[in-house]
């Protein structure tokens, strides 16, 4: 024993004396193929470019916000939801920290005009209590002025206006004059109210408002001086815009900036551009950007986004605003206002150039740079803002900071068309977000936008809506089915039943499908955040999973739930990233019914307990009366119907034990719709059956009446025949002609058939 102890000590000492080395590690081989790199479509190059932020994992992002003077419309929804989806992908999928700044334009020509119009109209509303002759004459005068300005082709008296409008092909003329249908509608509405006339004062004023307020503004606009008037309207519409964005589940900006809170900064920014030699003040107290000086500077380029538009006066003037086109003293038409001298009826701030207000383009440059710095990673907005707004932003910012590239990536969302036509607030052919949400859910609208690439046009048409609703229903059914299977599995485990987890080849293939879908989705996200491809990948994976689930229902395979749950949770994660909130259990997207509790546990449970109690009462009575099994089955079907109304579906399975599904309101409605369809089909089937039975009965009655006739009397019809032989067969027609051999042969055959039929009748009568 002692010897063994010494021997072990010796071995231990020898081992300790040796140098202990770590076994070699063999690094895994780098997978073949190129790793996808994140690329974004950059309007500055009109190509997909590899995305490289300025500061590692940080992204600075400025988004052009709303000009708040009216309802937000579906064009706004397209812009801000698409930006929201892109933002969520970058921060929640790729893991970037995004500093997202969005402005509110609350100083602008459109806002000033809208505020004055609203104020002057309210004053007029207060002035008139009824539609009197004075008001009618004023309205006629305003309509004449409106028609003279906007419908120049009309040169007759006002009563003939509607007939003239009816003679126009407005759809064809709108190609060259896009605003013509809007002008025609306003004139038609006013004409109808004036010449009918409309006696209700509120309806009358509403009908003539669009033709009335331009004339009121022309006469009295300069008298509107109270700053509160110009604050009240944008504050109201800013709040409405935020409410719309909340309903669409658009993330709030990291920082929101308002133009009205940045006027001193704007003045300082303009002064810096002047000192750098790229702007000039005019005698009227305005300041303009010198586009030629900037373009000729070797370190700068003008109109980087759309250089082909830089001389297009229609776009330039639209960017300047309707209040800023008359009497300007700028050097060249392409120069744009940095600071506008305020005229009577416009808000004003003091500056070294005199009382004025900011130009439209300068606002974004100042606010974005104040928060995000002199170079910014991403700037986004609608594609219609490329020129002149964003091109002018770039020019004035690079002129101020003396750098070559103020924005590294410009992301412009594509146009939204409604049933093939471009929407425009200025044309008043828009659908507001409020109106859209009365017909479609916020989830459906987000799906519409996710179905298209963010940088491409989308046509909001019936076919797309149908496709989106079908896609949504596919996901709803899938999630409901998976939750039911999961609940069924947990129930079985809680009862101590053994459930195998061993995966077979079919489950391994399903997991391989998941891995492929994850790779495909990643590649799609890397390729310009391509959500349509990702949604298609999700749909294909659901189809494969449904096929597997169905194979377990038919008994072809035994259900292994874990791969199904893994697939579901990945799909839900992807949808959550796109802005479709996930349920807390990760097995579906959130529905309105899931958020918040509805009363005590007794109140929640009572409808379900009541249904089961009534079922028990029915079954007990049937059992006492020893009813047939069909009566019990009917009671069971009645319980199922009651549970459907409570949002629970019981799906029978071949191996016994119904699968319990909790339905949301949309699924329940769809289920009930299908049930009604089946019921209607059953009624139609029964109706056809009854009609056929009635027809058969009628036919049988006719056959019976015919059977009563003896065969020798079958052809005793003087309207057809005049002579017969001893068997009762006709020999001559009613006209006295001989019956032909072929006809006699035919009549003989009919008589033989009648003989047989009559004998059957006689036997029945005899019995």
Name the phi and psi angles at 747, rounded to 5.
-70, -35
Distance between CA 401 and CA 403 in Å, rounded?
5
3 state SS of 169: coil
For residue 592, the model assigns a pLDDT of 53
For residue 594, the model assigns a pLDDT of 41
CB 198 within 8 A of CB 204: yes
For residue 405, the model assigns a pLDDT of 97
Q: Which two tokens stand for residue 50?
A: 């590899």
Per the model's pLDDT, the better-predicted residue between 89 and 761 turns out to be: 89
Sign of CA dihedral 394, 400, 406, 412: negative
Q: What is the mean pLDDT of residues 629-644?
A: 76
Closest C-alpha to 249, from 501, 527, 691, 582 = 582
Q: What is the mean pLDDT of residues 466-481?
A: 96
Helix axes 462-494, 531-553, angle to 10 degrees: 40
Q: What is the mean pLDDT of residues 457-483?
A: 96
Distance between CA 276 and CA 402 in Å, rounded?
8
For residue 8, the model assigns a pLDDT of 58
Share of the chain above pLDDT 70, in %: 93
Q: What is the mean pLDDT of residues 328-344?
A: 93
pLDDT per residue as tens digits for the range 91-120: 999 999 999 999 999 999 999 999 999 999
> pLDDT-derived band of residue 743, with 50, 70 and 90 as boundaries?
confident
Closest C-alpha to 226, from 123, 337, 126, 105 = 123
Q: What is the mean pLDDT of the chain?
A: 89
pLDDT per residue as tens digits for the range 198-209: 899 999 999 999
CB 587 within 8 A of CB 479: yes
β-strands 39-42, 648-651 pairing: unpaired
Q: Which range, of 3-7, 120-124, 285-289, 565-569, averages the lowest pLDDT?
A: 3-7
CB 398 within 8 A of CB 404: yes
Closest C-alpha to 295, from 146, 405, 395, 375 = 395
Distance between CA 348 and CA 287 in Å, rounded?
14
Per the model's pLDDT, the better-predicted residue between 686 and 136 turns out to be: 136
For residue 605, the model assigns a pLDDT of 63
Distance between CA 350 and CA 345 in Å, rounded?
16
> pLDDT-derived band of residue 600, with 50, 70 and 90 as boundaries?
very low
For residue 2, the model assigns a pLDDT of 52
Using the predicted structure, report yes or no on whether residue 176 has a pLDDT greater than 90: no
For residue 512, the model assigns a pLDDT of 98
For residue 722, the model assigns a pLDDT of 85
Per the model's pLDDT, the better-predicted residue between 485 and 656 turns out to be: 485
pLDDT per residue as tens digits for the range 254-279: 999 999 999 999 999 999 999 999 99
Range among 281-290, 638-647, 740-749 rated most confident: 281-290
For residue 81, the model assigns a pLDDT of 98
Whole-Å CA distances, 362 to 259, 319, 369, 383: 10, 12, 11, 19
Distance between CA 406 and CA 304 in Å, rounded?
11
List domains and CATH numbers for the chain.
Answer: 54-109+243-459 (3.40.50.620), 467-592 (1.10.730), 603-663 (no CATH), 709-766 (no CATH)
For residue 596, the model assigns a pLDDT of 39
For residue 10, the model assigns a pLDDT of 53
Q: Which range, of 13-27, 234-248, 305-319, 443-457, averages the lowest pLDDT?
A: 13-27
For residue 389, the model assigns a pLDDT of 97
728: DSSP letter? S
For residue 525, the model assigns a pLDDT of 98
**How far out from the chain centre does Cα 615 lie?**
43
CB 341 within 8 A of CB 353: yes
Range among 169-178, 408-417, 656-665, 710-719 rated most confident: 408-417
């Amino acid at each position: 024993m002692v010897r063994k102890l010494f021997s072990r000590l010796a071995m231990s000492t020898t081992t300790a004396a040796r140098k202990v080395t770590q076994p070699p590690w063999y690094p895994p081989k780098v997978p073949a193929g190129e790793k996808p790199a994140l690329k974004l479509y950059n309007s500055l190059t009109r190509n997909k470019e590899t995305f490289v932020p300025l500061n590692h994992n940080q992204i600075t992002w400025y988004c052009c916000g709303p000009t708040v003077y009216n309802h937000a419309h579906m064009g706004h929804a397209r812009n801000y939801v698409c930006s929201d989806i892109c933002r969520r992908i970058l921060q929640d999928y790729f893991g970037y920290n995004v500093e997202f700044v969005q402005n509110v334009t609350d100083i602008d020509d459109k806002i000033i005009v809208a505020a004055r119009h609203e104020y002057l109209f309210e004053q007029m509303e207060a002035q008139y209590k009824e539609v009197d002759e004075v008001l009618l004459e004023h309205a006629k005068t305003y309509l004449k002025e409106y028609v003279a300005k906007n419908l120049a082709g009309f040169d007759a008296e006002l009563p003939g206006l509607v007939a003239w409008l009816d003679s126009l092909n407005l759809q064809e003329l709108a190609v060259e004059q896009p605003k013509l249908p809007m002008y025609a509608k306003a004139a038609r509405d006013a004409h109808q109210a004036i010449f009918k006339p409309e006696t209700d004062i509120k309806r009358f004023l509403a009908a003539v408002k669009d033709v009335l307020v331009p004339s009121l503004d022309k006469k009295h606009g300069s008298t509107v001086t109270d700053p509160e008037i110009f604050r009240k309207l944008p504050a109201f519409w800013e709040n409405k815009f935020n409410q719309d964005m909340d309903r669409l589940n658009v993330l709030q900006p990291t920082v929101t900036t308002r133009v009205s809170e940045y006027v001193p900064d704007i003045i300082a920014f303009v002064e810096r551009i002047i000192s750098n030699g790229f702007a000039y003040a005019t005698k009227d107290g305005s300041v303009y950007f010198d586009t030629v000086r900037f373009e000729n500077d070797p370190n700068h380029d003008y109109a980087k986004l759309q250089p082909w538009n830089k001389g297009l006066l229609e776009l330039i003037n639209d960017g300047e605003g309707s209040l800023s086109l008359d009497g300007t003293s700028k050097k060249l038409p392409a120069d744009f206002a940095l600071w506008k001298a305020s005229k009577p009826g416009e808000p004003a701030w003091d500056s070294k150039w005199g009382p004025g207000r900011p130009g439209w383009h300068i606002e974004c440059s100042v606010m974005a740079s104040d928060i995000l710095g002199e170079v910014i990673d991403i700037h986004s907005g609608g594609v219609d803002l490329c020129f002149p707004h964003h091109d002018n932003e770039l020019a004035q910012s690079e002129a101020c900071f003396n750098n070559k590239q103020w924005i590294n990536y410009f992301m412009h969302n594509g146009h939204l068309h409604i049933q093939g036509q471009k929407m425009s607030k200025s044309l008043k052919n828009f659908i507001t977000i409020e109106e859209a949400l009365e017909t479609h859910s916020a989830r459906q609208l987000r799906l519409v936008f996710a179905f298209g690439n963010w940088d491409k046009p989308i046509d909001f048409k019936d076919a797309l809506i149908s496709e989106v609703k079908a896609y949504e229903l596919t996901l709803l059914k899938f999630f409901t089915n998976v939750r039911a299977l999961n609940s069924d599995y947990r129930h079985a485990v809680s009862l101590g039943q053994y459930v195998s987890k061993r995966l077979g080849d079919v489950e391994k293939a399903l997991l391989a499908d998941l891995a492929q879908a994850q790779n495909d989705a990643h590649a799609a996200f890397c390729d310009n955040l391509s959500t349509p491809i990702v949604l298609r990948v999700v749909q294909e994976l659901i189809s494969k999973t449904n096929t597997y689930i169905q194979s377990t229902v038919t008994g072809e395979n035994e259900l292994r739930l874990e791969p199904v749950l893994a697939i579901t949770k990945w799909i839900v994660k992807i949808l959550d990233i796109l802005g479709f909130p996930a349920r807390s259990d990760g097995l579906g997207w959130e529905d309105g019914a899931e958020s918040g509790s509805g009363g005590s546990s007794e109140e929640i449970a009572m409808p379900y307990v009541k249904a089961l109690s009534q079922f028990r009462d029915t079954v007990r009575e049937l059992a006492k009366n020893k009813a047939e099994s069909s009566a019990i089955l009917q009671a069971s079907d009645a319980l199922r119907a009651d549970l459907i109304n409570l949002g629970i579906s019981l799906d029978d399975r071949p191996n016994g034990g119904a699968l319990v599904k909790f339905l949301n309101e949309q699924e329940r409605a769809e289920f009930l719709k299908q049930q009604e369809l089946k019921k209607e089909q059953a009624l139609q089937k029964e109706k056809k059956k009854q009609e056929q039975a009635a027809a058969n009965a009628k036919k049988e009655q006719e056959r019976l009446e015919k059977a009563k006739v003896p065969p020798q009397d079958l052809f005793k019809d003087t309207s057809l025949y005049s002579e017969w032989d001893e068997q009762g067969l006709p020999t001559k027609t009613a006209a006295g002609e001989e019956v032909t051999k072929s006809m006699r042969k035919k009549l003989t055959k009919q008589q033989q058939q009648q003989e047989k039929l009559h004998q059957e009748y006689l036997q029945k009568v005899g019995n």
